Structure formats: C-alpha cells, structure tokens
Amino acid sequence: MVKANDNYLKLPGSYLFSTIGKKVREYSEAHPEAKIIRLGIGDVTQPLAPAIIDALHKAVDEMGVRETFKGYAPDLGYEFLRNTIAENDYRSRGCDISADEIFVSDGAKSDCANIQEIFSLDNKIAVCDPVYPVYVDSNVMAGRCGDYDAASGVWSNVIYMPCTAENGFAPEFPGETPDLIYLCFPNNPTGSAITKPQLQEWVDYANKVGAIILYDAAYEAYISEENIPHSIFECEGARTCAIEFRSFSKNAGFTGVRLGFTVIPKELKAGDVQLHPLWARRHGTKYNGAPYIIQRAGEAVYSEEGRKQLKAQVAYYMDNARYIYNGLKEAGYTVSGGVNAPYIWLKAPNNMTSWEFFDHLLEKVNVVGTPGSGFGPSGETYFRLTAFGTKEATVEAVDRIKKM
C-alpha cells in the first residue's frame, strides 16, 4: 500500500506566519475599524526599480520575435548573468569565484531547502537559535532531525547554537561537532551581523573539523559597516568548506519576480566526493532554469542605473530601520539589529512572552510583528519588526508604540 513520507507528519503545527495571519484576521473581523499596520513578514513594499522594469519590457519584446525568442534556459543559468554576478559580487570584492561555480535559481529559499539533498542522511546539522525556519524544516522533511519535543521546541538530532544578548547574537562553536553548519549573516531574524575575523574563525573551524558551512547571505545588500563581510568567500579557506546562497529578493525587490543563486566552489568536497557536479546534476534533473526574462532583469540589477536606483531603495528601508531602532530605544525598549540588516530585534517588556507581546501590540496599537519564539527557543521573549514597510506605515507604527 502506498505510504506518505511520514517525516512531514513530524513537522509541528501550523507555520509561524499562518498563525500570525489567522490571529490578525480574527482580530480584524472583530474590530473592522482597526487600522492594522503589518511589520511582520519580511516582504518588500517598494515597486521594482525603473532599470529593472526596462530590462523586463525589453526581454518580453525579445520573446515575441522569432530571432530572439528563448526556450529553456541553460540549466545553470545564462552566461550573461553568471559572468555579471562573478564579476560584481565576487571578483570586485577580491573573492576567487568563477562564473561556472554559480548556479542561477528561482531564489534562496528553494536552494537552501534543497541543498541538503546532496548530503547523506547521516549528517548532523547545526543551526543558530533563533533561525530562519527553512533550514530545519527541510532537514525534517528529509528525515535528518530526529523527533520534535513540543515542550522545549527542539529536535533531538539537531545541534542548536543559541544566539543571545550575552553573545551578541553570534553563535559559538558547538560542543558536539556538526557536519553541516547553517549560518545566515546579516541575520534573519535577529538583524545581527558578524565581522570578517569572526567569520574567518568559522571557516577555520569548518576546515579543521571537516564540516561544510551553508552560508545564507540573502541580506548582504543591507551591510553598512566596513568590517562586515558580504560573502563567506572573502575569508581565506572558504573554497574548501563553504556553499553560499544569494537572493535578489531583498536587494532588488524580486520577492514576486523570483531569482537567486548558489555558489559551490569546484574544490569543495564531502569526504572525497566533489559537490559541484552533484548540485549540477540535481539542478539539471529537477529544475529547468529561471526564465530568460527574469535573468535579464537580474542582470539589470548590476547596471549603472540599476545600482543607483537600488542603493536608494535599500537606503529607504534602512531609514525605516533607523526610525524603528531609535524610536523604540527612546521608548525604553532593549533593541538590536537594524544597522546591517532590515530587521529590528527587541526584547518584550515586563517579562512578557513573545506571543503575549504580539497580542499586546495587536490589541493596543494594531501593529503586527513576529514573535521571536517562532524562530526557536532562544527567540522566546524577543520580537522582530521589519523595515520593509512603507515609510508612512513605519513612522505611524513606531509613533503608536511610543505612545502605548
């Protein structure tokens, strides 16, 4: 008889954002007059920049002409985009990454969820706590995480690296040696970043213990400080221990357009198996390439006009981040993040739990954020606000919280 993949049945309850959505819907139905401001989900609000719209229009027109029409894209992405990425994101920063080590995809979520497929089920993963839920959930689906303990919110076969106020929201080397280490900097949800020497220590550690770092740099465009690395490949030795995920969602507003890429250096090995051909095989078998139109839009992100416009877009969101950070600080909250990332991480006041503070904010001032406990046990009593709202909504939300 047919059997389902019962690893899926191990996943706890409903997804964090569905629970938030349900609570907001119920509140809204009971209080139809409430003007709710959503600073919860990390989705962008600004329209695509003109340089990107121009590239999209041009590519659409090409698709309507026999001579320039394109069918299936090359498995790993068009050369024009991979060369542009290699030059602008890597070589210009002194990173030794070539175009054929770049795999273009429909976004970082699918890549960082799918990457675990090329590793043995015996591998043990280490994650930051709190963490972007996709890393753990994708490993649960594969059957790598053991059992879930609902009371503590932890999986029996996952190594957790608590990121707390005490360690500056930066993970420490775990007591038990992991095989796969998920790191995300600038971080979602805490908004923290680590310096290049700190990241270098992780690279040295991974090379020493024979682990691989799965490095999610989806928020690199928000880095404002000099000593924060934009790529793990800025660190010496990363080519033998790291895979990097990048997204066009937050640096260029592509959340609804979908584009990202993964970098796997040719020398990277698991034991004596080279990983680049494995991911190439996986990509070729299970994915038919990001659309030509979208890859041309991605190329425009790096054009002179595109860069200028997107710098302004990132600055717009970071003005929001500053406004939230400063406003909450003035109001007496303990806040962090918001300097190299579009997320503000705050401590719920008066010993409230994350969900208590969620209800409090929703009911008292009609502002929606994300409970920190939804990202892992160490997120309990914390709360995330995003800088991706419009300026008007952000100002209004902060002013309401300040008056609360």
The phi and psi torsions of 109 (rounded to 5 degrees) equal: -65, -50
Minimum distance, C-beta of residue 253 to ligand PLP, in the bound complex (Å) = 10
Minimum distance, C-beta of residue 402 to ligand PLP, in the bound complex (Å) = 27
Residues 6 or more apart whose Cβ sits within 8 Å of residue 150: 12
Site string for ligand PLP, 115-144 (x = CB under 6 A): -----------------x------------
- 369 lies in the site for ligand PLP, by CB under 6 A: no
Give the span between the Cα atoms of 211 and 197, in whole angstroms.
19
C-beta closer to ligand PLP: residue 217 or 365: 217
C-beta closer to ligand PLP: residue 130 or 265: 130
- 230 lies in the site for ligand PLP, by CB under 6 A: no
Q: Which stretch binds ligand PLP (CB under 6 A): 58-66, 102-110, 272-280, 297-305?
A: 102-110
C-beta closer to ligand PLP: residue 78 or 132: 132
DSSP conformation letters of 85-124: HIIIIIGGGT----GGGEEEES-HHHHHHHGGGGS-TT--
Minimum distance, C-beta of residue 334 to ligand PLP, in the bound complex (Å) = 23
DSSP reduced 3-state for 154: strand
Minimum distance, C-beta of residue 288 to ligand PLP, in the bound complex (Å) = 17
- 108 lies in the site for ligand PLP, by CB under 6 A: yes
Q: What element of type H or E holds 20?
A: helix 16-30
The phi and psi torsions of 366 (rounded to 5 degrees) equal: 55, 40
Q: HSE on the CB side for 89, CA within 13 Å?
A: 33
Minimum distance, C-beta of residue 132 to ligand PLP, in the bound complex (Å) = 4
C-beta closer to ligand PLP: residue 247 or 313: 247
How many angstroms from the chain centroid is the CA of residue 18?
18
Q: Binder to ligand PLP among 116, 190, 200, 247 (CB under 6 A)?
A: 247
Encode 256-287: b = buried (16+ Cβ within 10 Å), e = exposed. ebbbbbbbbbeebebeeeebbeebeeebeeeb
Which segments of 14-163 are extended strands (E)? 37-38, 102-105, 125-129, 148-149, 154-155, 158-162
Q: Which stretch binds ligand PLP (CB under 6 A): 5-13, 105-113, 307-315, 356-364?
A: 105-113
- 216 lies in the site for ligand PLP, by CB under 6 A: yes
Give the span between the Cα atoms of 226 and 231, in whole angstroms.
13
- 214 lies in the site for ligand PLP, by CB under 6 A: no
Site string for ligand PLP, 6-45 (x = CB under 6 A): ------------------------------------x---
- 397 lies in the site for ligand PLP, by CB under 6 A: no
C-beta closer to ligand PLP: residue 294 or 401: 294
C-beta closer to ligand PLP: residue 24 or 108: 108
- 188 lies in the site for ligand PLP, by CB under 6 A: yes
C-beta closer to ligand PLP: residue 306 or 327: 306
Q: Which residue has the tokens 């991974």?
A: 206
Residues 257-296 that bind ligand PLP (CB under 6 A): 260
DSSP reduced 3-state for 211: coil
Minimum distance, C-beta of residue 31 to ligand PLP, in the bound complex (Å) = 29
How many angstroms from the chain centroid is the CA of residue 289?
21
SS (H, E, C) 309-366: HHHHHHHHHHHHHHHHHHHHHHCCCCEEECCCCCEEEEECCCCCCHHHHHHHHHHHHC
Q: Binder to ligand PLP among 38, 82, 109, 144 (CB under 6 A)?
A: 109
Residues 39-68 that bind ligand PLP (CB under 6 A): 42
Q: Binder to ligand PLP among 161, 218, 368, 398 (CB under 6 A)?
A: 218
- 249 lies in the site for ligand PLP, by CB under 6 A: yes
CA–CA distances in Å: residue 254 to residues 46, 290, 390: 10, 13, 16
The phi and psi torsions of 274 (rounded to 5 degrees) equal: -70, 130
- 370 lies in the site for ligand PLP, by CB under 6 A: no
Cis amide prior to 189 (ω within 30 degrees) = yes
How many angstroms from the chain centroid is the CA of residue 388?
14
Q: Which residues bind ligand PLP (CB under 6 A)?
A: 42, 107-109, 132, 184, 188, 216, 218, 247, 249, 255, 260
